[in-house]
Structures are given as C-alpha cells and as structure tokens.
A and B are shown apart, each in its own frame.
Chain A
Amino acid sequence: GQNIDQPTEMTATEGAIVQINCTYQTSGFNGLFWYQQHAGEAPTFLSYNVLDGLEEKGRFSSFLSRSKGYSYLLLKELQMKDSASYLCAVYSSASKIIFGSGTRLSIRP
C-alpha cells in the first residue's frame, strides 16, 4: 500500500525553528519532495531528497533516511508568511507523486 504520514497541524512562534516530520511506506521510491501550499493556491516546490542526508537551502532544510522511511523539513527564523500547509510527497515511480495530507503550520507573533 501507499502511506505517507505527517502531523495535521503545528504551531510555532515567529523567529523560532520548527521541524515537520514525515514517514512513508510506498511501493516504490525515487525521491521525496516537500512543497509549500498557501490556501487556495498551487503547491510550490521547496526541496527534493533522493539520497540520505540533509539538504540545506536558505532558511529551509530537508532530511531523508531511506532505511527508516523518514524525512523532516526544518524551517528556521520563522516569518509570518511561513504560515501555510507543508506537503510531504514521494516520487513512487517515474511518473507519479504521492502526497501526504499536509501539515498546517500556524505562526504566532
């Protein structure tokens, strides 16, 4: 079966750091994406991991452990505009991305 789990909601404080976890069980694995989605808008690409380890891109970092079926997205120096849903998604085959249900992140001042 195909299963991607991530917390439904999280709250964090402006300027702080937050880590959003994702675990997955899929029939195939060709990489893992993190997308950001604001309400009513399309997902926008944040990161892509295909090898184990940490990928850093500005205030955002993403980690992957393929053996554990685990990833996290780390957001630093949180800003109010970071309030959005964060979608963990697995490239299960060359043609198909499977999305998790998303984590709705609320940033408080």
Chain B
Amino acid sequence: EPEVTQTPSHQVTQMGQEVILRCVPISNHLYFYWYRQILGQKVEFLVSFYNNEISEKSEIFDDQFSVERPDGSNFTLKIRSTKLEDSAMYFCASRKGLEDRGSYNEQFFGPGTRLTVL
C-alpha cells in the first residue's frame, strides 16, 4: 500500500541553524501539508500546498518557514535560524484530490520527523 515517507526520522540541530525536512507524498496525490506537534500538545496545521503554490498557511508559518516541491516527488519544509521552541514532531500529509469522492478528503500522514533544537 502506498504511503507518505519522511526523512530524516530524527534531526538534531543547533539553535540558529537551518534545517530541511523532506517528505515524499503518495505519488498520485495533489495536495500536500505540513503539521507540527510539540511534545504533549496538539497537532497544529502549518501550511497546505497545491499546484505548486501555498494554498493556506497558519500564523505559525512565518518568514522563518518555507516549502518547496523541487521535483515531481519531494516536498520539503525549510526552517531558517531554528529556535528552541521549534523542537517538535513535524508531520507531512497528502491527499488525493477530487477524483474519488468516496474518500477524497482523507489526509495520509507520514511517520514524522522529530526535530530537536539544542
């Protein structure tokens, strides 16, 4: 069964450094998302991406963050100048689109990247 994959599974970085989190969405999916979950807290929406542009972003997703789909398979989240409070689990998700109305709204989550900022 196709699945969303994410690399690395765990990233440790120093405060102020830049990190790039990578995701490979399911191949025929059209919509892509990034969420984060700080330990013990709820899952928070960061950004959605469709047709090579951002569809919607939350107030968390400020100039420190950027997303890119550099090729036909990868979807990346870049965090510039990381802060201690950026430590969290980052989940990528994708969904198919409107073709299959029976389940088109289901978002499939990747296993996550645990980011630790020291």
Question: Shortest beta-carbon distance, A3 to chain B, in Å?
Answer: 12
B residues at A contact (CB < 8 Å): 31, 33, 41-45, 48, 50, 55-56, 58, 89, 91, 103, 105-112
Contact status B109-A42, CB under 8 Å: yes
Contact status B43-A95, CB under 8 Å: no
Chain A residue with Cβ nearest B4: A42
Interface residues on A, range: 20 to 34
Contact status A98-B109, CB under 8 Å: no
Contact status B111-A42, CB under 8 Å: yes
Can you list 16 contacts pairing A with B, beta carbon distance less than 8 Å?
A30-B105, A31-B105, A33-B105, A41-B111, A42-B110, A45-B107, A45-B108, A91-B105, A93-B56, A94-B55, A96-B45, A98-B45, A99-B44, A99-B45, A100-B42, A101-B42
Chain A residue with Cβ nearest B98: A94
Which interface residue of A37, A87, A89, A96 has the most chain B CB atoms within 10 A?
A96
A11 within 8 A of B: no
Given contacts A95-B50, A98-B45, A99-B45, 5 further A-B contacts (CB under 8 A): A31-B105, A44-B109, A45-B108, A95-B31, A97-B33
